[in-house]
Structure 1
Amino acid sequence: MDGTSSNKRQLEAQLEGDSNAKRHNVTMRLETLDCSVCSEPLRPPIFQSSLGHFICLSCRSEILDKKCHLCSAVTSFERCFGMEHVIKSVTVACSNAKYGCAEQIIYYQKEEHEKMCPNAPCFCPESGCGFAGSTMALLGHMTGKHKCPLSTCDDPSMVNVYLYLEPGLRVLHCHEDDQFFLFNMASESFGHAISVVCVQPRVTEPKFTCDLYYDSSTTDDSQNSCCKVRSSSLSDGLPTGYDLIVPKGKVSDEGNGIMLRATIRE
């Protein structure tokens, strides 16, 4: 290595050390970083009144009387590049840090990040449990702690699962895209009730459909039902309502001899 390269690396190391030395953990009132009109996080472009009050672009576009909304002084609102530089340098932890998210997000991007954060929690639906964690953490919890039977598949575009009609929860995990489905089998006064839900942190429009089919070897009876698969974080427990009902009298009360076939399509 020649002397020029060595000196260059030494200079880069010194600059990096100086930069790190200037980094400190500080505390501040986060409303200082919010628009003083709408209280939404400030983001570029940011405007400042002649008296130092900051507002966002949207609120600036709605102020037509040239008066400061805080003190009513006549003023102009000019672009404040200095505040924009400050805003871009402020990072905060994701609210899902305790569930495994290690991201440090620019303050005004926090809400957008958390809407899509893969570590947002899902919740155990078992009564009195209280577990919360990422989708895959909940999957491990359900199969490990509560011993829910697990089925797996590799191709999420079309999945066939065969399940005996017995009360309890059944788990389906699609490896390719980590989709997690939960089947609930319940014995009700009117018969056997089955429902299916896609477990994920955010409720979205149904992405999957599910064909539920049963065939009783004891009574020669069969039934088919097609439904849109709901999504849920299970924060309020299992969704209400059922997707297939096997009426009383169609099969024995115990469901013996019943095989349920679930076909999930994207």
Structure 2
Amino acid sequence: MSEQQGRKRGSAPGDSELSHSGKKPRAPPQAAAPCAVVKLEREEEGDAGQGSSSSDARRAVVAALEPQAMEQPQLKLVIGMSVFHCQACFRPLKPPAFMCESGHIVCCTCRGKHGEACDRGRATAATFAACPGLDVVLRDAKMPCQNEEFGCTSLVVYYQAGDHHGECQWAPCFCPAPGCELFSSPARLADHLNTHHRWPLTSVRYGEPCKLPVPAPEQGCHVLVGEGDRSPRVFLVSPSALGAATAVSLVCASANAGGDQFMYMLWVEVPGNKEKLVLILPAVRSGDLSCGLPTADTDVFLAVPPVLLPEAQNLFVCIDKADAAAANSTPPMVE
């Protein structure tokens, strides 16, 4: 983890259970190991509530930050990393695992390469035996996500951890407000921008238009939170000065490019007629906001001329997941 990621850290206090019964305490069960700690885990509770108001959006963010529901007891153990790494490629072991005559445990795909090394100076070819018992452990050995401190409560199978970390939407982002040093998950960032910087926050449904005022550059962004996501997706409607006009862009606060992809449309209706100024892009730009907000010099934008700004309460934003948008042949434009 980078030095920036270590700046804002916090840890939840541990829980303890006390028995207040008049009866003699029951003998504790046999411990599996002296260092083992029994930890209860639970699945996430329901998704954030529906609605498009700022309060609904804040509830969606807060709900995503609550602890997951308890379910099955788990053992928290400390085991040397070498046990779970292939001794040929030194990467996490993936089942099925095999052991050679020398006692080295390797992945299935590494048998040939490792066998050649074992054959040197031997009269017979090395043989390998399957390790079904170890395969059971490899499939069940889990670790917390590296973004646990930022809100991710996933327990990831060890050999799949790299894939999860590359797509985890709780990976931290920087606060884009000038002078602010917050570094946290998009969900916490959205709440911070709304409560600390007073940027308006609205909950949006994918594929449905949302009507907003054109934000003024000096007032900051308008924060949008997508509904129905396990980890809330946060989008910023970002204004910047373009002479007397206003350039409006959209950016997704996400440190990872993996997972769902989004397309979007921005348009402004001209008062008194059906004409529209429209910007349609097949992909929403995303990033950890380490370089700040997009500007007219660095990003694609919808230019709102000054003649429309005095009555600019008619900015429409429609964000949709790329797969859903491709299946829908009719653009969700307001008639």
Give the counterpart of 1:68 among 110, 113, 117.
117
Change (3 A) 1:190 1:77: farther
Structure number with the higher strand fraction is 1
Query: Quick check: 1:211 aligned with 2:269?
Result: no
- Would the aligned equivalents of 1:151 and 1:161 in 2 still touch at CA under 8 Å? no
Change (3 A) 1:70 1:43: farther
Q: Aligned partners of 2:167 and 2:270: how far apart in 1?
A: 40
Q: Aligned partners of 2:184 and 2:166: how far apart in 1?
A: 16
**Counterpart of 1:54 in structure 2: which amino acid?**
I
Question: What TM-score comes out, normalization by structure 1 length?
Answer: 0.73
- Would the aligned equivalents of 1:196 and 1:229 in 2 still touch at CA under 8 Å? no
Query: Quick check: 1:236 aligned with 2:295?
Result: no
Q: Aligned partners of 2:198 and 2:285: how far apart in 1?
A: 22
- Would the aligned equivalents of 2:246 and 2:306 in 1 still touch at CA under 8 Å? no
Query: Quick check: 1:170 aligned with 2:222?
Result: yes
Query: Quick check: 1:110 aligned with 2:161?
Result: yes
Query: Quick check: 1:186 aligned with 2:235?
Result: no
Who is 2:131 aligned against? Answer: 80
Change (3 A) 1:83 1:137: same
**Counterpart of 1:263 in structure 2: which amino acid?**
V
Change (3 A) 1:175 1:85: closer
Say which SS state the counterpart of residue 277 (structure 2) adopts: strand
Change (3 A) 1:39 1:231: farther
Q: Aligned partners of 1:75 and 1:147: how far apart in 2?
A: 68
Query: In the TM superposition, what whole-angstrom CA distance separates every residue of 1:128-167 from its partner, at most 9, and x where no partner exists?
Result: 42323333211101111111122334x4321222213511
Give the counterpart of 2:189 among 113, 126, 138.
138
Distance apart, 1:170 and its partner CA: 1.0
Distance apart, 1:82 and its partner CA: 4.4
Q: Aligned partners of 1:156 and 1:58: how far apart in 2?
A: 42
Distance apart, 1:51 and its partner CA: 0.7
Say which SS state the counterpart of residue 164 (structure 1) adopts: coil
Give the counterpart of 1:92 among 134, 143, 163.
143
Compare CA radii of gyration and give the structure with the larger one. Answer: 1
Who is 2:176 aligned against? Answer: 125
Q: Aligned partners of 1:93 and 1:70: how far apart in 2?
A: 39
Who is 1:6 aligned against? Answer: none
Who is 1:196 aligned against? Answer: 250
The alignment-based identity, stated in percent, is 23
Say which SS state the counterpart of residue 17 (structure 1) adopts: coil
Who is 1:160 aligned against? Answer: 210
**Counterpart of 1:212 in structure 2: which amino acid?**
W
**Counterpart of 1:34 in structure 2: which amino acid?**
H
Query: Quick check: 1:52 aligned with 2:103?
Result: yes
Change (3 A) 1:68 1:18: farther
Say which SS state the counterpart of residue 95 (structure 1) adopts: coil
Distance apart, 1:40 and its partner CA: 1.9
Q: Aligned partners of 2:188 and 2:31: how far apart in 1?
A: 38
Superposed CA RMSD: 3.5
Distance apart, 1:211 and its partner CA: 2.9
Change (3 A) 1:263 1:92: closer
* Ranges in structure 1 where 5+ consecutive residues have no aligned partner: 1-12
* Ranges in structure 2 where 5+ consecutive residues have no aligned partner: 1-25, 37-75, 321-335
Who is 1:41 aligned against? Answer: 92
- Would the aligned equivalents of 2:267 and 2:278 in 1 still touch at CA under 8 Å? yes
- Would the aligned equivalents of 1:122 and 1:135 in 2 still touch at CA under 8 Å? yes
Q: Aligned partners of 2:119 and 2:244: how far apart in 1?
A: 63
